[in-house]
A and B are shown apart, each in its own frame.
Chain A
Amino acid sequence: MRLVTAIVKPFKLDDVKEALRDATVQGMTVTEVRGFGRQRGHTEVYRGAEYTVEFVPKVRIEVLTDDDDAEGVADMIVAAARTDQIGDGKVWITPVQTVIRVRTGERGADAL
């Protein structure tokens, strides 16, 4: 099993959700996060004094998939979240040792 984690622009969340719902994905988890990338935030002026927005708001999406589906899900997220602008975010895939469904105690692929 794999965990696909994506950091995307907040306003792209709906596009990603629509794309994944059409695929075989059973569920997703969304978190509001902040962070910076290569741009290291950006600068604004408040009442004449400059300040840096060091952490830009983003959305983190987490999806559990079968080993075979992970690449496809990641590609779908990338396609749905892309704006071709700076700050589009990142997607990565990590191996998952096991998954347990809390209600039934099912393990592994059955719990997805």
Chain B
Amino acid sequence: MVTVLTFIVLVVVGGKYSGHGGDTTGARTGTVADYQAATNPPGAQATTDVPLSQAGINQLANEAGHLRISVNFSWLLMTGYLVLFMQVGFALLVTGLTRAKNAGHMMMMNMASFAIALIAYFAVGFAFHFGGVAPVANLGGLGPLSGIFPHGDAGLIGTHGFFLQSAHGYDVGVLAMFLFQVVFMETAGYIIIGAIAERISFAGFILAEVAMGAVIYPIYGNWVWGGGFMAHLGQSLHLGHGAVDFAGSGVVHATGGWAALALAVILGPRLGKFNKDGTPNAIPGHNLGYVVVGTLVLVFGWMGFNPGSTFGATDLRISVVAVNTLLSGCFGTVTAMAWTNAKWGKPDISMTCNGMLAGLVAVTAPCAFIAPWAACVIGIVAGFLVCYGVWFFDHIAHVDDPCGAISVHGLCGTWGVLATGIFADGTYGDKWNGVNGTVKGLLYGDPGQLGAQVLHAVVGAAWAFGITYLIFSVARRHMSIRVSEAAELQGLDEPEFGAFCYPDFVLVTSTTGGSPPGHASPLPGASVGRRHADSGAPPPAADRPIAGSGKEDSR
């Protein structure tokens, strides 16, 4: 009865009032009347007569300029929120790719990294990074950020904006910029989790995040994005437009990836990862569902990461950026799927997800400068690179990288930087880094640009690996950056945090790949539980590498 009455009311009211007064197409919303309603005092008579005086035109121009910046602020903040959401994707991805006994530790690292690195970036990182970036036209100039050391062409570090303060207080443009940039820094911060998983101590991890937020990421970021010397290679060495990195294949991903490599080398492999002869054992992750969902969340976040890097929706290149990003990601996915199928007989689920991320990472630097066909090529190459990279670090380099972070972000990030210098087609980027003309890659007649990109890749890798290695070689003499062997065998949840991610399950632990995900069963001798922790007894035999398989622990 109520439904029928509601229906009748809707029909009567709708029939009587629809089409009267409403703006169904949007064509009449946002006119000079709205401008006057917004600028005149309440109650003043609105009129559609445009004042033709110079003063009136100036007033309109001011309003137009204000709207332009407002649109750009909205775009920058919204895409920043999307990038923030990528934290969820990474948490799921890396937790799914590791074992159930460490799931709480993995999640806690993702949680803590966000706050710790943000505070470090707020205090000093942002000032080091963007302290001298002004002017940025899309955001109203960012006038307060005008301090760089030592000087213009040879900038090494920004000097304005510590604790988001400047001589004249804080600034709306600077804070909008901070929100967008801090979530980029978080990306580099959580990339490293993939390579240090299941063995780093929480104290060591906090140090890594502080270093990432305050030093490793911001200083290299300054060189390329903050007006530093890498951005000025075009003027100083006449190499194209200097180091060009649209959304951070190099600045964000390669930096995170190479820092992750340094950490993985210093920490050493997980117990049972490599045999005495160096051959790797598979240590399957515990939840491939998390891995797939996490990857798709990351794809969604990337729709902010790349298109947002225009710093404004008034730059309509954003559609090209978004589509190129998706194309490269999907070609990377298909390539990884096909490669693993051809090589091992079945498509590997987690490598397929890595293939998606590889394509996204690689297209992040070139996405604004290239045609869609080039994005496809870049994605295909990235798909091969990540598969080869994971194999290489496992079988040749013997670096234990549980989630493929080094291959996805380090290798494919570097490829993205180089690809910009190859495929940039000269349709975008006029006056980029202060150099006249559009950005052209090798294929479009500017080998100098590729030269700048090679320098970008090499200097970036040397900085990220070098500074991280230095910090942690010093740190490990004064603190314990790796958990104890007993804690690693038991799983880090209880030793590090006193709580289990999955307290209601009896977990089967094995250091080799004896127990594929989903096949855990309550074998009494192989349980991780309070029984062992309380009694302080050594872990039971079943926790050690499975006997009789001929596999011996390398450590």
Interface residue ranges, A against B (CB under 8 Å) = 32-34, 44-55, 57
Residue from B340, B346, B513 with most neighbouring chain A CB atoms (10 Å) = B513
| Cβ–Cβ contact B391 & A34, under 8 A | no
Contacts of B515 in A (CB 8 A): 55
Q: How far is the CB of B46 from chain A (nearest CB, A)?
A: 66
Q: How far is the CB of B22 from chain A (nearest CB, A)?
A: 57
| Cβ–Cβ contact B514 & A51, under 8 A | yes
Contacts of B395 in A (CB 8 A): 48-49
* Further contacts, 10 of them, CB under 8 A, given A47-B348, A48-B395, A55-B519: A46-B513, A47-B394, A47-B404, A48-B344, A48-B387, A48-B394, A50-B282, A51-B514, A52-B514, A54-B549
Contacts of A48 in B (CB 8 A): 340, 343-344, 348, 351, 387, 390-391, 394-395
| Cβ–Cβ contact A54 & B514, under 8 A | yes
Q: How far is the CB of A34 from chain B (nearest CB, A)?
A: 5
Given B343, B348, B387, B513, which contacts A52 in the complex, CB threshold below 8 Å?
B513
| Cβ–Cβ contact A47 & B350, under 8 A | yes
Interface of B is mostly: loop
**B523 adjacent to chain A (CB < 8 Å):** yes
Alpha-carbon distance A57/B519, docked complex (angstroms): 7
Closest to B346 in A: A45
Q: How far is the CB of A78 from chain B (nearest CB, A)?
A: 24
Can you name 5 A-B residue pairings with CB atoms under 8 Å? A34-B523, A48-B391, A51-B281, A51-B514, A52-B514
| Cβ–Cβ contact B513 & A34, under 8 A | no
Q: How far is the CB of B346 from chain A (nearest CB, A)?
A: 7
Contacts of A49 in B (CB 8 A): 280-282, 394-395, 513
Shortest Cβ-Cβ A-B pairs, 10 listed? A51-B513, A51-B282, A46-B282, A49-B282, A45-B344, A48-B391, A49-B280, A46-B284, A54-B514, A34-B521
Alpha-carbon distance A22/B59, docked complex (angstroms): 91
| Cβ–Cβ contact B546 & A54, under 8 A | yes
Contacts of B324 in A (CB 8 A): none
What size tier do the contact residues of chain B reach?
A: 20 to 34
Q: How far is the CB of B341 from chain A (nearest CB, A)?
A: 11
| Cβ–Cβ contact B281 & A32, under 8 A | no
Q: How far is the CB of B75 from chain A (nearest CB, A)?
A: 38
Alpha-carbon distance A5/B184, docked complex (angstroms): 59
Alpha-carbon distance A55/B519, docked complex (angstroms): 9
Given contacts A45-B344, A47-B348, A53 and B280 within 8 Å (CB-CB):
no
Interface of A is mostly: strand
Q: How far is the CB of A54 from chain B (nearest CB, A)?
A: 5
Alpha-carbon distance A51/B515, docked complex (angstroms): 9
Given contacts A33-B521, A34-B519, A53-B519, A46 and B350 within 8 Å (CB-CB):
yes
| Cβ–Cβ contact B546 & A45, under 8 A | no
Alpha-carbon distance A73/B11, docked complex (angstroms): 70
**B278 adjacent to chain A (CB < 8 Å):** no
Q: How far is the CB of A45 from chain B (nearest CB, A)?
A: 4
Quick one: which of B55-96 are within 8 Å of A by CB? none
Closest to B519 in A: A57
Contacts of A44 in B (CB 8 A): 282, 516
| Cβ–Cβ contact B521 & A57, under 8 A | yes
Contacts of A32 in B (CB 8 A): 521-522
Alpha-carbon distance A32/B387, docked complex (angstroms): 36
Alpha-carbon distance A32/B282, docked complex (angstroms): 25
**B512 adjacent to chain A (CB < 8 Å):** yes
Contacts of A34 in B (CB 8 A): 519, 521, 523
Alpha-carbon distance A49/B551, docked complex (angstroms): 14
Q: How far is the CB of A103 from chain B (nearest CB, A)?
A: 26
Alpha-carbon distance A55/B284, docked complex (angstroms): 15
Chain B, residues 516-534, CB within 8 Å of chain A (1/0): the string is 1001011100000000000
Alpha-carbon distance A50/B344, docked complex (angstroms): 9
Alpha-carbon distance A80/B374, docked complex (angstroms): 58
Alpha-carbon distance A21/B351, docked complex (angstroms): 46
Alpha-carbon distance A50/B523, docked complex (angstroms): 24
| Cβ–Cβ contact B516 & A45, under 8 A | no
Alpha-carbon distance A50/B282, docked complex (angstroms): 6
Contacts of B521 in A (CB 8 A): 32-34, 57
Q: How far is the CB of A59 from chain B (nearest CB, A)?
A: 10
Quick one: which of B496-555 are within 8 Å of A by CB? 512-516, 519, 521-523, 546, 549
| Cβ–Cβ contact B351 & A47, under 8 A | yes
Alpha-carbon distance A67/B351, docked complex (angstroms): 55
Contacts of B340 in A (CB 8 A): 45, 48
Contacts of B522 in A (CB 8 A): 32
Quick one: which of B386-401 are within 8 Å of A by CB? 387, 390-391, 394-395
Alpha-carbon distance A50/B351, docked complex (angstroms): 14
Q: How far is the CB of B223 from chain A (nearest CB, A)?
A: 34
Alpha-carbon distance A85/B65, docked complex (angstroms): 75
Contacts of A46 in B (CB 8 A): 282-284, 348, 350, 513
Alpha-carbon distance A47/B282, docked complex (angstroms): 7
Closest to B522 in A: A32
Given A45, A50, A53, A57, which contacts B348 in the complex, CB threshold below 8 Å?
A45
Alpha-carbon distance A99/B157, docked complex (angstroms): 82
Contacts of B519 in A (CB 8 A): 34, 53, 55, 57
Contacts of A33 in B (CB 8 A): 521
| Cβ–Cβ contact A53 & B390, under 8 A | no
Q: How far is the CB of B350 from chain A (nearest CB, A)?
A: 6
Q: How far is the CB of A98 from chain B (nearest CB, A)?
A: 26
| Cβ–Cβ contact A52 & B523, under 8 A | no
